[in-house]
Amino acid sequence: MNTKLIHLFSLVFLILLLISTSLFARPKIGLALGGGGAKGGAHVGVLKALEREQIPVDYIAGTSIGSIVGGLYAMGYSAAEIEKKMMATTWEEGYSDSIPRQDLPYRLKQRDQFNVPLDIGLRDYQITSPSGLLYGQRAAQLLRETFGMVPVLSSFDQLSIPYRAIATDLSRNEQVTLDHGDLLSAMRASANVPGVLAPVNWDGQLLVDGGLVNNVPIDVVKQMGADIVIAVDIGDELAKPESLTDTFSILGQLSNFLTVASTEKQKAHLAAEDILIKPDIDNLSTTDWSTFHLGIQEGLEAAEYHLLSLQALSLSEAEYQSYLLAKERVKNRLVRVQKEAFKQIRIDNHSNAHQSIISENLDLKAGEKLSPSQLNQALSRVYSLDEFQRVDARIIPENDQHSVIVTAEGKDWGPNFLEFGLGWETNFTDQSKTDLDLAYTATNLSVNGGEWRSQLELGSDPELNTELYWPLTKSRTFYTLGRYAFESVDWRLLDLNVLPLTVEQNIHQLRAGLGFNFSRNGILEVGGLAEVGSLDNDYLLSKKINYDTYGAYLKLGYDSLNSASFPTEGNRIELSLIHKEEDADNVTLQDGGQSDFGVQSTQLGFEWKGAISIDSHAFVGKAAFNKMFVDDGEHSVNNASLGGFLNLSGFNERDLSGPHKAFMALIYQYDLRGGFIRKTGLPLYVGLSAEAGNVWRQDEKVDLEELIYGGSIYLGTDTIMGPVALGYGANDHGASSVYFYLGYEL
């Protein structure tokens, strides 16, 4: 046969083969997953049905929770793997960016009384506030824990399944289709609830939840190339009039107007061959993640309703296995980054904090492997300095290697801040105390993070202090401070055989010191102090005593408690040694005696609080000791005190005072959390205490046989406004009291 003729027949055969292949090629299937928060379990159920019927997915677009479930599937994870990951993640933690107390530096742990959860700043003489209740610090960590570390991609087509996330441009109310970049940031932007979470800055665009403009992105998967779309709508329906009974339900309805409207608009893009799946999940909440598993079953059942239509898209066993192998190869390439050492660790610093303090707290080294949990822990160490609105990281591919870029964003409502605190306690009879606290902090006064902080306490015990805190090194290991404080305190001189006497003491104190932060939890400080003040009691003294003192102090502080009032782990220790020269007026006592307070005094003080826990059982220990050393017959102007709830219960606060003190307590608390309480995320403790202590006059020896024994029972919880507790206490000296606390440390 002629060679040219053979070539002609071969060409015709090849063309016919290509035509027949295109005619009988399977349709490309796109998956559009809608937004709906914790109802997103339904998406997992639909994926399970698709896998069971061996239906491939060629394109995925998702909004909000749909972008998260869809992102996991696009990475190559199976429905079973996604279910396991989603169920293992405590998504409700994403509703808070609060720093756990035990992670704060020692200095910040001493601010527990500022319990009002408001972030208010001052800049250029104007009051400022954050652009959202949250900046998504914890939400970003949850995504990293779930997805692992995903490198920045030039296109989301590089995933196992081409993928798009839908967000809304807040400034223009326009849809933004995210098709490249940092996958975790894209999902966070798509699920970013406006007003709750601050907008995500994406190349200069401020992005929020995509549900506002396109809650079920059917048109997007069609534009990607899908011939057939499987759309899953898990959005809320509009509420009926009878359920619109409060502000929150009305605000929710306004939000639903937007998402329902966008969904109805998208449904217009559906063709006859497309499949719309609407799971029956109206009884599920968008915010209750404990019901996520219920949505999985509903999604599976809703998909089975369309079983005949879905089965028409099924592949043969061989074809489906080939499809799965292709996905697995891409997935393995994506997750390989978690098994390799990183080339570089770079810091992109958008704050006033010095680069070295960020680097030191990150404590990451190039050339080492890094797991998602290790990276999260490193970012948390920096974030816990409480100088940033967000600290996040991206994984950048560089010549077959990867680098970690850490971005630190300073608080955009700073650099000066206002804090507020509120406390109330009462025994419902003769004792009540209310305090309002206000603090102003000017930060970044030096390259090393110097700050000037002033605190004002209004109420039963007025107090004012202002302090200049000046780190000496970029790492802030060493510091100096100068402090002025005014305090007005009433001491109750209680003799159990007579009526109590109250001595009013006003104190003005100056203090200057040099300190060493030997760890995140501990300090060692030495310095000098000077004090002027007065003591007054018309019954005991013929006139007010004016005094002045000066001396030196040494202080050791350590604090790792996870809660100041209801700890379950950690310790707090304060050890102090103060030596002073005291000079005071000579005064005649009402009984005719003379008192001269001109003395040299050395005061040794020790306080400890610690906790351990086993499951829901916690054991808390407390101890305090104070010893005043003076020459025989002399007296100091300073006293220690006892009294109050869990501080020798039965007595009121400062009922007992004297220069010598000993106290100890053992507290058992059980967490009753469950049912409604579990849904709030708050612990609920029932507690019992056994306590012993006393105070002694200067001329008395500390005698353990003179200890007063007491105890209490209480119910309490830690809230965003601090501790709340109701208790009853009594002691063996006949004193008893009911206690209610709000905001005060117990």
Tokens of 129: 């506030």
Q: What are φ and ψ of residue 213, in 5° steps? A: -120, -25
Residue written as tokens 């449904």? 267
Residue written as tokens 């400080």? 525
Neighbouring C-beta atoms of residue 252, cutoff 10 Å: 15
* 670, 690 contact by CB (below 8 A): no
Tell me whether residue 383 is exposed, middle or buried, using C-beta atoms within 10 angstroms of its C-beta: 0 to 12, 13 to 18, 19 or more: buried
Pairing relationship of beta strands 599-614 and 656-658 according to DSSP bridges? unpaired
Tokens of 742: 């709000």
What number of CA atoms fall less than 13 Å from residue 83's CA on the CB side? 18
Tokens of 30: 């796109």
DSSP category for residue 197: B
Which amino acid, 59? Y
- Sheet strands side by side (includes 388-398): 344-350, 401-410, 388-398
Tokens of 540: 């005991």
Distance CA 185, CA 200 (A): 8
Picking from 432, 415, 412, 431, the residue whose alpha carbon sits closest to that of residue 423 is 432
The region, left, alpha or beta by phi > 0 then psi within -120 to 50, assigned to residue 101 is alpha
Tell me whether residue 81 is exposed, middle or buried, using C-beta atoms within 10 angstroms of its C-beta: 0 to 12, 13 to 18, 19 or more: middle
Picking from 412, 352, 35, the residue whose alpha carbon sits closest to that of residue 206 is 412
What are the DSSP calls for 548-614, one per residue?
EEEEEEEEEEEE--S-SSS-SSEEEEEEEEEEEEEEE--EEBTTS-EE---EEEEEEEEEEEEEEEE
* 44, 52 contact by CB (below 8 A): no
My answer on whether omega of the bond before 241 falls inside 30° of 0, hence cis, is: no
Please measure the distance between the N-terminal and C-terminal CA atoms of the chain and give it in whole angstroms: 103
Alpha helix positions (H), 641-711: 676-680
DSSP category for residue 172: T
Distance CA 213, CA 215 (A): 7
Distance CA 425, CA 409 (A): 39
Neighbouring C-beta atoms of residue 535, cutoff 10 Å: 22
The region, left, alpha or beta by phi > 0 then psi within -120 to 50, assigned to residue 384 is alpha
Residue written as tokens 């560089």? 398
Which amino acid, 666? L
* 331, 75 contact by CB (below 8 A): yes
Picking from 717, 623, 731, the residue whose alpha carbon sits closest to that of residue 669 is 717
* 507, 582 contact by CB (below 8 A): no
Which residues are marked as active site? Answer: 64, 209
* 599, 635 contact by CB (below 8 A): yes
For the chain, how big is the Rg over CA atoms in Å? 33
Helix axes 183-190, 65-75, angle to 10 degrees: 160
